[in-house]
Structure 1
Amino acid sequence: MITKGDYIIQLRSTKKSGICRKCGKVIRHFKGYDEWITIRHLPILGREVYLKIRPRRYQCLECDNEPTTTERLSWRDSGKNYTKAYRDHVLRCLINSSVEDVCLKENLGEKHVEAMLSESYFGQNPLDHISYIGTLGLDEIALKKGHRDFVVIVSSRFEGRTQLLGVLPDRKKETVLEFLKLIPDTVKNTINDVATDMYEGYLNAAKEALGESVEVVVDRFHVAQSYRKGADSIRKKEQKRLKKELSENDYKELKGLLWAFRKNPNKLTETENDILETAFGYSPDLKKAYELRNAMTDIFEEDYTKQDDIAAFKKWEKKVIKNGLDCYDSFIKTLNSFQSQIANYFNNRSNSGFVEGLNNKIKVIKRRCYGIFNIKHLRQRILLDTLGSELLFTK
């Protein structure tokens, strides 16, 4: 909407020809002007700028009924009341911002900004622009905190670059399978492996859609969560017992045990080491669980082959049984169920750390925009915030 103080620049086309809308040939027979149109352009000195122009019309003398064609303006998409340059300006403003903020700064309606985003590169299907995948990642994120309305984030990692492939409405096997089948065969052939968690819907969908030749890797960090949870369960149990049995002064010596127990043993301070030694003196089982937890972490740090790793897993399991610990029962069950997929990590050291990194960015986007509950809009915002700086700013 033009207001006092805005700039209005009147243009005149210097083109001498057009393209016939019927036959596609170049036409030069001038047939007059179309109606005046007003087009929003880049601001000047903080003021809104509008371009006014009457497009030229040309007549094709070779087609039946000699139709007329209005010239197309290369700097404006047909039917739009803004230039391509202004659209890109709005999208640049939208990076790391919200639709509401951009609307206030640019004096635009939300629907206008959302339409610009939808009609841009970022509104297109990411699969249309992907030629190589490398490692394919599958993970979920909740649209609303505390609710179980998960959406699946499908992404790829190749040569240090993470790209979004899709946002799926739910984590059902059928939904994931349908999406994976949409990947063109030429692009499927570039998938080296699939990194995911232990959710069987992902594992089965990947296996069915991509075949046995593509390795499915259960992410080592999800595995670590499982066995560390087992170790932490005995810490909680033993701390609860010791709080009842020890005097108040003796129990104070265990202050800070939680963080000392969870911390990387190579980064412990002298004080933290003392806390652990005190706790282990009261609870030998806690010491055994701690050492076995660290031993499992060490396995993942070794330069093993897949077969070496499976052998190391079995050896570790025997130690757990020998020590009579039940805190790792759940993890051992998981380890035996997904042994091959977990051990696939040692073939290429693939993991879904890049997916977790992307998930963190998505959480920031959601927080900044006070929640995005439309899946299409979420996908567009992820693409804009991850690729916008590269595509919209001149280097």
Structure 2
Amino acid sequence: MLQDNYTQDLPLFKGVTVKYFRENEENGNLEVFIEMPVKEHRCPHCGHTTTYIKDYRLQTVKDLTVAGKPLIVTVRKRRYICKECNSTFTEDNPYIKRYCHFPQRFYLEAIKETSDLQSFSAIARRMGASVTSIIRWFDNINYPKAELPSCIAIDEFKGNAGGEKFQCNLADPVKHKIIDILPNRDSEDLYKHFLEYPYEKRAKVKKVVMDLSTLFRSVAKKIFPEAKIIADKFHVIRVVTNSLENVRKRIQKEFHDTKRKWFKRSRQLLLKPEYKLTDEDKIELNRMLISSRELEKAWLLKELFYEIFKEKERKAAKHQLRDWLLLAAELSVPEFQHCITTFTNWSTEIANIVDENVSNGFIEGSNNKIKVLKRISFGFQNFRRSRNRILNLI
């Protein structure tokens, strides 16, 4: 049993006198009794000094756990009386502030816990505080508007906070840092948010990365006149692979059950780049392509599209993309009509991928993390709390 009956200084209790430190054998708690050393105090009312003690008051508070055991601290506070103005006041204590129920380090540890992927309820349960207290302390956090970096990634995610279904995520894809979370994706609100920055700061943004969203592109062109808009490579390639998948789904409906199931199980062979195929994979792929002329055309378009990103110069990539669009129109596979329309409208932004080695990879990963946080927290109704939690987490 930890017990002593003499005064000592402990690192956890700097500036105060520890009268005893012991373990309670009944409940296993660690119990500490502390008080301030007697010294001369200045009256906050008249400014005169006094050493006259009027009475004592005991306050029991819960501290952080030590070696897995709860630490219960009893604080003996003195009330002094001023002989000049006859007023009373309580001595200042560095361990716990006036009107507080926990020491300062307890509050700081609770806020620090919110930077981990866990709910407020889990934090409150582990620390032995109420959920409402944890939330109230956390709501005191205020993240100011961040500075705009030279490269911005923008994307939306389903947050269901503040009465809006979608929120907007702004991130720095180079430094892998979230800049801000916006309450919705409406163009008017996006304009309002960015126009709060002076033109000089907006002009410093040189790159804006996004998926194939015409809304984000129209906002970026007007707000960041000096920026180059770059389409996200993953979303661009996914348009092509989705078109190929739609061709496969249409073709396999014409087959009998055995062949249709084989087509479905072997769909990864169609999506895998040709240079990654083994000899056995190529044999299986040829069996699939022989089954349908249109499927062979779709697979060829997919492989030729990969060749665009092997170019080292933007001009050559844009020229090759134009040739690919002409070929796609000539082969006239119905499912690729969407690719032709989309890539015609986004040809400049797609060609910019070759020059710039940036993508929406980080922001997509942060969106997944936000979804996990939202799920374990059973959602957020308060947008400000949701924004602060995300910025504190990522």
Q: Is the pair's TM-score, using the shorter chain for normalization, greater than 0.5? A: yes
**Which one of the candidate residues 107, 111, 116 is aligned to 1:87?**
107
Q: Which has the larger radius of gyration?
A: 2
Aligned to 2:173: 157
Aligned to 1:370: 378
Q: Which runs of 5+ in 2 are unaligned?
A: 1-25
Q: Write the mapping of 1:1-395 to structure 2, written as runs, cut at 5 A.
A: 5=29, 7-12=31-36, 29=49, 40-45=62-67, 46-50=69-73, 52=75, 54=77, 80-94=100-114, 95-119=116-140, 123-127=141-145, 130-131=146-147, 133-143=149-159, 149-158=165-174, 161-183=175-197, 188=202, 190-210=204-224, 212-241=225-254, 243=255, 254=263, 256-305=265-314, 307-386=315-394
Aligned to 2:14: none
- Taking structure 1 as the reference length, what is the TM-score of the superposition? 0.76
- Paired with 2:41 and 2:389, the residues of 1 have a C-alpha distance of 40
Indicate if the aligned counterparts of 2:77 and 2:91 stay in contact, CA closer than 8 A: no
Deviation for aligned residue 1:73: 6.3
SS at match of 1:9: strand
Aligned to 1:393: none
**Superposed CA RMSD:** 3.8
CA shift digits 1:5-59 (9 cap, x unpaired): 56353331688788999xxxxx785597899566543233511333636489999
- Paired with 1:71 and 1:189, the residues of 2 have a C-alpha distance of 55
Report the residue type matching 2:124 in the other structure: C
- Paired with 2:378 and 2:264, the residues of 1 have a C-alpha distance of 39
Would the alpha carbon gap of residues 321 and 49 (structure 1) be closer, same or farther in structure 2, given more than 3 Å must change? Answer: same
Would the alpha carbon gap of residues 10 and 150 (structure 1) be closer, same or farther in structure 2, given more than 3 Å must change? Answer: same
Indicate if the aligned counterparts of 1:142 and 1:149 stay in contact, CA closer than 8 A: yes
Aligned to 2:9: none
Indicate if the aligned counterparts of 1:126 and 1:165 stay in contact, CA closer than 8 A: no
Q: Which runs of 5+ in 1 are unaligned?
A: 22-26, 60-64, 387-395
Deviation for aligned residue 1:320: 1.3
Would the alpha carbon gap of residues 215 and 6 (structure 1) be closer, same or farther in structure 2, given more than 3 Å must change? Answer: same
Structure with greater helix percent: 1
Would the alpha carbon gap of residues 265 and 315 (structure 1) be closer, same or farther in structure 2, given more than 3 Å must change? Answer: same
- Taking structure 2 as the reference length, what is the TM-score of the superposition? 0.77
The number of equivalent residue pairs is: 359
Indicate if the aligned counterparts of 1:20 and 1:68 stay in contact, CA closer than 8 A: no
CA shift digits 1:151-189 (9 cap, x unpaired): 11122233xx32222222221111222222344667545
Greater displacement, 75-84 / 331-340: 75-84
CA shift digits 1:236-288 (9 cap, x unpaired): 111112x15xxx66656645232221223333344432232112112122112
- Paired with 1:270 and 1:156, the residues of 2 have a C-alpha distance of 42
Deviation for aligned residue 1:124: 2.0
